[in-house]
Amino acid sequence: MAVLVKNGKIVNHDRSFKADVLCVDGKIVEVGTDIAVPENCQIIDATDRLVIPGGIDTHTHMQLPFMGTFAIDDYYTGTRAALSGGTTMICDFVLGGKGTSLIENFKTWKGWAEPKVMCDYTFHMAITWWSEQVREEMTEIINNYGINSFKTFMAYKDVFMLEDDEMLECYRHAAGIGALAMVHAENGHIIDRESKRMVAEGVTGPEGHEMCRPEHVEMEATQRACVLADTVNCPLYVVHVMSKSAGKVVSEMRRDGKVVFGEPIAASLGTDGTNYWHKCWRHAAAHVMGPPLRPDPSTPKILMKQLACGELECTGTDNCTFNANQKALGKDDFRKIPNGVNGVEDRMAVIWTKGVHSGIMDENRYVAVTSTNAAKVFNMYPQKGIIQVGSDADIVVWNPNRSRTISKDTHHQAVDWNIFEGLEIHGIAEKVISRGVLAYEFDGDKFHVEQGHGKYVPRQPYSEYVYNRIHQREKFYKPEKVEREPYTGPVIKLPQ
């Protein structure tokens, strides 16, 4: 199976250059000019197009069982939609409740994903409770199941939330086994209390979802998580950075030398929380996710600028979709609205439009934040995230000069809503190659791969990109005792 992408401009994270790319049996085997065309080779013309690494979505929840129902986009519709938008790999979450086994959860989620995925996938593992069993299973998971990233929750009290002492234990163990800790940073105690107060005071609509957890609730938890992780010298990845103040905390922590990475998502980069005040309940509820989008309309641009200058690292979507009739479980009480939004299909276009087309970041940084950095952070580089010999042939022929308007009526996702409805985007994934096969063509809206085409991508511990400084700090940040003469003076007596 051979595919030759001709006449395009290759854009990697470090440079752009004119060259052709030959893919054979799923791998990139040659990058250059005057490549000899093998027999039975499919030729894709990329004249006047960019040729970029396939997007990696760092954060999805396909068919997640959540808040009494299941996310409507499953591993089939979700990954099919991903491909159509230029994403060739998703990082999904194994997310079991308290008291459940990590190993059993892994098997369940993999059983769901494997037969359905249209693109490659890997898993992060959620840690929703803490015990000796969980500690042992984390070790087992990292050694034998290919997962090196573990998400902890500071919110969803009594469901997924860990307390600080449990997070410390979890992070200490993560650092000992070469894992990356991830965090959902919101103060769950405040949310629990304030959401009850909000309802008691008669605010039952989606605006209450934001009002009971304004951005300082996210900011405080982000800061606390960074301090907890740093205390035990554990690298930390802050998922779904939704607010300017949380983004600022991540940036300040990085400036202070802490090993912290921040992930804004398509939603926080492409829209805002004013939608919660929309008069149409359905519209407002469609935007409900945690942490919420922020009503400050300057948020998306500031997060994009942070992404452009290296203060934030990767981009995901937190794609976790529920139809209007599922969201309606919370029609009389915002606390019952299933949390989650779309994004897996539109992330690449939203970031190109709001980031590159607008002049905030260049094409190379775009590649870094949409694929390369994810590959480095999660230890898949250079298998993923770059166009070079030996890498997986996940490639997008990107046309920056074409536009379209996002709509639920034309998107590929199963969900009956789109938070980017009506947004005119610039930049189209015209041809998408996954594992060396032309998987999707925009013109004619044609898919050429079936369910099960994607493969599980196992990942090793101790990502160099993440652990370099951790190892060095281990050597040099040891506590040193002061040698001194013993104290020989009087000591007061404490009452018995």
Binding stretches for Zn ion (CB under 5 A): 184, 318
Q: Kindly tell me the burial class for residue 342, based on how many C-beta atoms sit within 10 Å of its own C-beta (0-12, 13-18, 19 or more).
A: buried
Rounded Cα–Cα distance for residues 192 and 195 (Å): 6
**Could you tell me the smallest distance in angstroms from the CB atom of residue 310 to ligand URP?**
24
Q: Which is nearer to ligand URP, 206 or 340 (CB)?
A: 340
Question: Contact, 318 vs 287, CB < 8 A?
Answer: no
Looking at the Cβ atoms of 49 and 184, the one nearer to ligand URP is 184
Taking CB within 5 to 8 Å according to partner kind, which of Zn ion, ligand URP, none is near residue 339?
Answer: ligand URP
- A 10 A CB-CB count for 44 gives 22
Neighbouring-strand partners of residue 4: 22, 43
Other Cβ atoms less than 10 A from the Cβ of 436: the count is 22
Query: Per CB under 6 A, which of residues 265..324 are in contact with ligand URP?
Result: 289-290, 318, 320
Q: C-alpha 164: how far from its chain's center?
A: 23
Choose which of 78, 247, 262, 340 interacts with ligand URP (CB under 6 A): 340
Indicate the residue among 272 and 318 with the shorter CB distance to Zn ion: 318
CB of 112 to Zn ion, least distance (A): 16
Distance of CA 284 to the CA centre of its chain: 23
CB-CB neighbours of 216 under 10 Å = 13
Q: Which of 364, 359, 343, 483 is nearest to 406 (CA)?
A: 343
Residue of 339, 342, 399, 434 interacting with ligand URP (CB under 6 A): 339
Q: Which is nearer to Zn ion, 288 or 386 (CB)?
A: 288
Footprint on residues 50-79 left by ligand URP (CB under 6 A)? 61
Residue 289 binding result from ligand URP, Zn ion, none, given CB thresholds of 5 to 8 Å by partner type: ligand URP
Binding partner selected for residue 431 from Zn ion, ligand URP, none, CB under the kind-specific 5 to 8 Å limit: none
Q: Nearer Cβ to ligand URP, position 184 or 213? A: 184
Rounded to the nearest whole angstrom, what is the least distance from the CB of residue 95 to ligand URP in the complex?
Answer: 7
SS3 call for 208: helix
Backbone angles phi, psi at 112, to 5 degrees: -70, -45
Q: Is position 243 an interface residue for ligand URP (rule: CB under 6 A)? A: no
The residue among 84 and 317 lying less far from ligand URP, judged by its C-beta, is: 317
From the list Zn ion, ligand URP, none, partner contacted by residue 343 (C-beta under 5 to 8 A by kind): none
Nearest Cα to Cα of residue 305 among 347, 247, 345, 234: 247
355 binds ligand URP (CB under 6 A): no
Residue 27, Cβ neighbours under 10 Å: how many? 15
The only residue of 184, 376, 384, 435 in contact with ligand URP, by rule CB under 6 A: 184
- Measured from the CB atom, the residue of 183 and 438 that comes closer to ligand URP is 183
Q: What is the Cα–Cα distance from 89 to 83, expressed in whole angstroms?
A: 8
DSSP 316: B
In the complex, minimum distance from the CB of residue 119 to ligand URP, in angstroms, rounded to a whole number: 20
CA angle 146, 147, 151 (to 5 degrees): 175
Residue 173 contact partner, candidates Zn ion, ligand URP, none, CB within 5 to 8 A by sort of partner: none
- 448 by DSSP, 3-state: which? coil
Q: For residue 8, give Cα distances in angstroms to 4, 420, 489.
A: 11, 30, 81
In whole angstroms, the minimum distance from the beta carbon of 241 to ligand URP comes to 12
Query: Rounded to the nearest whole angstrom, what is the least distance from the CB of residue 305 to ligand URP in the complex?
Result: 23
Query: Where on the chain is the footprint of ligand URP (CB under 6 A)?
Result: 61, 184, 289-290, 318, 320, 339-340
